[in-house]
Structure 1
Amino acid sequence: MIEYYQDLLNDLADGPLAKWAEKMPEQIAAHLNEKRYGDLPKWQAAMDAMPNIQAAHLNFKNLVHIGEADEIDAQTQATLEEQLRALIPWRKGPYQVFDTFINTEWRSDWKWERVLPHLAPLKNRTILDVGCGNGYHCWRMLGEEASRVIGIDPSPRFVVQFYMLKKLIGQAPVDLLPIGIEELPENLQAFDTTFSMGVLYHRRSPMDHLRELKATLKPGGQLVLETLVIDGALGDCLVPEGRYAMMNNVWFLPSTPTLLSWMTKCGFKNPRVVDENITSLEEQRSTDWMLFHSLNEFLDPNDQSKTAEGHPAPRRAVLIAEV
């Protein structure tokens, strides 16, 4: 799949990310490896079988809308949907792709509507989206006229989903690399805005993650952090001994005062909470594009203010800070 990254590699060859660009082909090959991921050939075959078309109409400003229904015939539409469905589950979205509505597990557009009013304008900014999934928010950032968006996520399924859609979109300054943040060059200081949404609670060391995020930003750059939190005072933090909402990779859920303290300790300036809400069953749910258990099954059936394990139900906060 290295050919899908050629425009990115060319664009970065002479700029502040040039040294990282030199390492990218090796990183891409290491992660998009059929020996590591047995389903990868099947996913690539679905992408290769997609119709060779590009959308005439694109909208990333108010939603992610790729093409209009009348741009392609019924057979082409059926073939396109068949290949897109081969990559189920689709978790972040939704996407309107010609006449196909990809009704994803998450209403990621709702999160974007909560986040966007609090951001420094994204126009002409270089942006990093850490743990971006299939890249839904990356397209919304392009809709705000960002000059270059790079998403990173180590899941090959998400990477293939992203490039299936980008094949329909054509050239755009948005790419998704199959790596984790720990594989970025140290002290990069190259991005105007860095997003980390839905990642912090999956990290064994939240302080290290915050420092890694800070190292990606230019002086004056902005961090957008979205994560699970608990209701509590300074110093409060839930460390689940087992699973949390059926997830076995949740390590730290701090209160917002605790998280603000961590951010200050890591050197961020003016950290502040700009949004906090309880995740609803309308925002995260099973659909015909994500057929597995979702939030409804992760909560106590007799008390939806609690997870299945008895912890507080998912509460998510958005925090902004600068460096």
Structure 2
Amino acid sequence: MLNLPAFFHDLNQTDLADWQPYFQQIIEQRLNQYTHGEWQEWEEIIEKLPLIKTENIELKDQVSIGSQKDLQQLSQLETDNFIQKLKRFHPWRKGPYNLFDIHINTEWRSDWKWDRVIKHISPLKNRTILDVGCGNGYHCWRMLGEKAQFVLGIDPSQKFLAQFAILKKYIGECPVHLLPLGIEDMPKDFTNNGFDTVFSMGVLYHRKSPINHLLELKQQLRPGGELVLETLVIDGDEQQVLVPTDRYAQMRNVWFIPSAKALELWLARSGFKNIRTVDINQTSLEEQRSTDWMHFHSLKEYLSPDDINQTIEGYPAPKRATLIATL
């Protein structure tokens, strides 16, 4: 699933080339941990997916690969089998994807988040980009659609890596890569050769130490680089922070939910400049929901049945802010 020669080739076209030995070592360590579970089965499934040629790839306004006409290369039985194999990688959480007119209707309308973010950030053309906690890489493809030079997504989930590998099989070789790493696995000292843009979307509230996460993001940026931070927030002033007693919207791994003003203060204390909150949006039942491609419980089941403005635990319903800052 990982084409490391292609990754290192693309890495070497950037100012990050000096980190190839480090990445070789850390990736080998991580892959050695993937000797259990369904990893080998997923690799075999992806390897045997049919080779379908297409010249129709759209990444700027959506992630769309090929058309139904391309599926004519397959018999109806082969097409049905192809769809069933795609569904073996359930749950599909980030998307949506249009793969040969097969609509992979994911839990999240990640395209809506992208539409809220893209109009506020610096143009991504010719930039090197790190997407932290990228899931299956949906936003990485949209970054390539904006003509980024090099995009590295990191996420430790094996399932997300497998889903990404399916898309890359049909998109073909391009300077977009997903590594099964966390932010703590990344190099710690880029000196003057960090990424031009670092994205952290939907990650901060899962970290036990949010300030440490901001400092980790800072370490990945070049001087003058841009941070795009999207996370859960609550209403309030710069001192307002929610720390759930146990679960938040049924999630156990939610630790700190600050107000946007508090988050601006945290960024300033962490050494960022030009800090601004550019969007605040309450997550709707249309943006996060169960589908045929993600049939587990979703946002509807996590909100109070009497008041969708509250979680089932009685906290404010999920509201997300996007903040931009520079180093």
TM-score (norm. length: structure 1): 0.96
Give the drift of 1:68. 1.1
Whole-Å Cα distance in 2 between the matches of residues 77 and 199 of structure 1? Answer: 36
Give the 5 Å matches for 1:1-323: 1-2=1-2, 4-13=3-12, 15-33=14-32, 37-73=36-72, 74-188=76-190, 189-323=193-327
Deviations 1:206-233 (A, max 9, x none): 1111011111111111000000000111
- Tell me, in whole angstroms, the C-alpha distance in 2 between the residues paired with 1:164 and 1:178: 15
Deviations along 1:230-284, whole A, 9 cap, x unmatched? 0111111001120000000000000111000000000100110000010000000
Amino acid at match of 1:314: P
Counterpart of 1:261, as a letter, is L
Q: Name the CA distance, whole Å, in 2 between partners of 1:28 and 1:161.
A: 18
- Is contact 2:63-2:141 (8 Å) kept? yes
Instruction: After TM superposition, give the deviation of residue 202 of structure 1 in Å.
Output: 0.4
Q: 1:303 to 1:258 in 2, by over 3 A?
A: same
Over residues 24-61 of structure 1, what are the superposed CA-to-partner deviations in whole Å (9 max), with x where a residue is unaligned?
23333333346564121222222122112343210001
SS of the counterpart of 2:189?
A: coil
CA displacement, residues 264-319 of structure 1 (integer Å, 9 cap, x when unaligned): 00010011000001000000000000010000001111111111111110000000
Stretches of structure 2 lacking an aligned partner (at least 5 in a row):
none
Tell me how far apart the structure 2 counterparts of residues 176 and 222 of structure 1 sit (CA, whole Å): 20
Q: Which runs of 5 or more residues in structure 1 are unaligned?
A: none
SS at match of 1:320: strand
Q: What letter matches 2:317 in structure 1?
A: A
Q: Is the 8 A contact 2:232 2:319 kept in 1?
A: yes
Q: TM-score, normalised by structure 2?
A: 0.95
After superposition, the CA RMSD in angstroms is: 1.5
Q: Are 1:32 and 1:156, in contact at CA under 8 Å, matched by a contact in 2?
A: no
SS of the residue corresponding to residue 72 of structure 1 reads: helix
Partner amino acid, structure 2, of 1:44: E
Q: Count the aligned residue pairs.
A: 322
**CA–CA separation in structure 1 for the residues paired with 2:293 and 2:152:** 25
Q: CA deviation at 1:20?
A: 2.6
